[in-house]
Structure 1
Amino acid sequence: MIDWLDVSRACVRDLEEVLSGLPTRLEREPVLGAGEGGDDTTAIDAAAEGAVVRRLEELGVGLTLVSEEIGVQVIGSGGPPTVVVDPIDGSVNAKRGIPFFSLSLAVADGPTMDDVVFGYVYDFGSREEWAAERGAGASRDGAPLEAPGPKPDIEILALEGTTTDAIAAVASEMRGVAYRLRIMGSLALSLCHLAAGRVDAVCCLKPARSVDIAAAQLLVRERGYAIDLFEDPPFGAAPLDLRQRSRVVAAATDELCAMVAAALT
């Protein structure tokens, strides 16, 4: 039986070494090619993914890996389990040295979001460790996550997947929906902050992929909050691959999710 929490922590240690070896944006930013997820593969993306792949291969078990750059890869005899990884979620922040980016790792016993049994997100800035197990709740730094939840009205809405044009296109529509906007740069971490009640809603202004949300969505759902791929529902049936893409919204309730989604559309 694999202890996925131990594996995740080992990946964090490996990634700390990668970050130490690529200390500035001069080393982190060079583009090496295009990843299977559709974005440029930079030096830090490739090095981080390589470290995680090696760690998973050393387990000596069969699994299916879904990762940002290499796409779907069979390790050993293949899976299940399916391991969905974004080694650096918030890579723009990571490249520029902004301390708000994370490792996102999810483990599933089937092909969809409903099949995710373990989720892990590690914040390389704050050093906070977020984890969840299906049916067993969510935790922060090893303690049950029992903080006050999101507010019943949206005071703080975290936007992700943002460019200047994307923000300009929706900001005015958020009047009356949310009082304040926050743009932090890691969708996985923003969803964790929703699970902790630090923000009241999250939405991504560009279509999200499974690697972006598979781990953190479990924290949100284990806390009893709502998350929706409103352009391609239902959420639980979303495949754990790199093909399915939809904008995502999360909040305390389905009604609040629908209100934010309506503003986006």
Structure 2
Amino acid sequence: MTDWLATCRAAVADVQGVLVDLPTRVEREPVVGTGEGGDETTVVDAEVERVVIALLDDRLDDYTLVSEEIGEVVKGSGRPWLVLDPVDGSLNAKRGVPHFCLSLAVADGQRMKDVNFGYLYDFGTGEEWTARRGEGAWLDGAPLGAVRPKDEIELLAFEATLTSSIAEKASNVVGLAHRLRVMGSLALALCNLAAGRIDGVCSLKGARSVDIAAAQLLVREVGLAIDLFEHPPFEDAPLDLEPRSRVVAAANDELCARLAAALALS
């Protein structure tokens, strides 16, 4: 049986080597193509994905990999399903802003409900976030869940967004959220929600499984609410690269519904 935690930690070590070799935006930000997820692929995106896939290929005989840059790769039997975002927070990573992560989800099927292990590593803080389906979620090995988000939203994270999108949607959450944060990583925003550090998360463009598959498991394991409100139900969302819906997450279903309604306003 694969030791997924050890595998992910080995991947982190390899990525750290890439970041040392590409120390500044001069080395990191040149565009080398367009990823299967639709975004520009920079040098740092490509190199991080390359070393992680090389490690997975060396350790595993069978898998289906869905990754932001390369798309879908099938090896052997095609099981389990792996959902990889080599760099969530790519713009932060290429500019040297220390808030981006490696995200890997492991699933025994092709839907969000099938994710059984989630791993994220924040290269800014050095924090390690993990979750196992039906067992719980952890930050650096300590159980999450004792500190929950507030039932009234003091801090709301807007992610996957442009200045124009913030200008369009910020007024819609007046009276619902006291303050906004735009930190640049949807996956880490969901992790911080699971830790009770923020009280809600909204993506202002469609979220793909690579963005949320690992982090959503933390959110759900600590009993919080998350929804792809434009393409429900959340549990049946395919593990692929299609951005079918914006995502909202908060302490409970009622707050999620209010966030979704706010985003739906023109």
Q: Give the TM-score, by structure 1 length.
A: 0.98
Amino acid at match of 2:202: C
Q: Distance in 2 between matches of 1:68 and 1:19?
A: 18
SS in 2 for 1:106: strand
Counterpart position of 1:174: 173
Counterpart position of 2:245: 246
- The Cα shift of 1:126 comes to 0.4
1:86 is the counterpart of 2:85: yes
- The Cα shift of 1:244 comes to 4.5
- The Cα shift of 1:60 comes to 3.4
Counterpart position of 2:187: 188
1:152-207 CA distance string (max 9 Å, x none): 10111011012110000001111011001000000110000000000000010011
| Matched ranges for 1:195-210 at <5 A | 195-210=194-209
Q: Distance in 1 between matches of 2:254 and 2:91?
A: 32
Amino acid at match of 1:29: E
Count, aligned residues: 264
- The Cα shift of 1:147 comes to 3.5
Runs of 4+ in 1 over 6 A off after TM superposition: none
Q: Is the 8 A contact 2:145 2:194 kept in 1?
A: no
Q: Give the TM-score, by structure 2 length.
A: 0.98
Query: Which structure 1 residue ranges, 5 or more long, are not aligned?
Result: none
Query: Which structure 2 residue ranges, 5 or more long, are not aligned?
Result: none
1:43 is the counterpart of 2:47: no
Amino acid at match of 2:67: S
1:218-249 CA distance string (max 9 Å, x none): 00000000000011010000000012421000
Q: Is the 8 A contact 1:238 1:244 kept in 2?
A: no
Amino acid at match of 2:24: T
- The Cα shift of 1:131 comes to 0.2
SS in 1 for 2:110: coil
Q: Distance in 2 between matches of 1:147 and 1:14?
A: 33
Q: Is the 8 A contact 1:226 1:254 kept in 2?
A: yes
- The Cα shift of 1:85 comes to 0.4
Amino acid at match of 1:47: E
- The Cα shift of 1:103 comes to 0.4
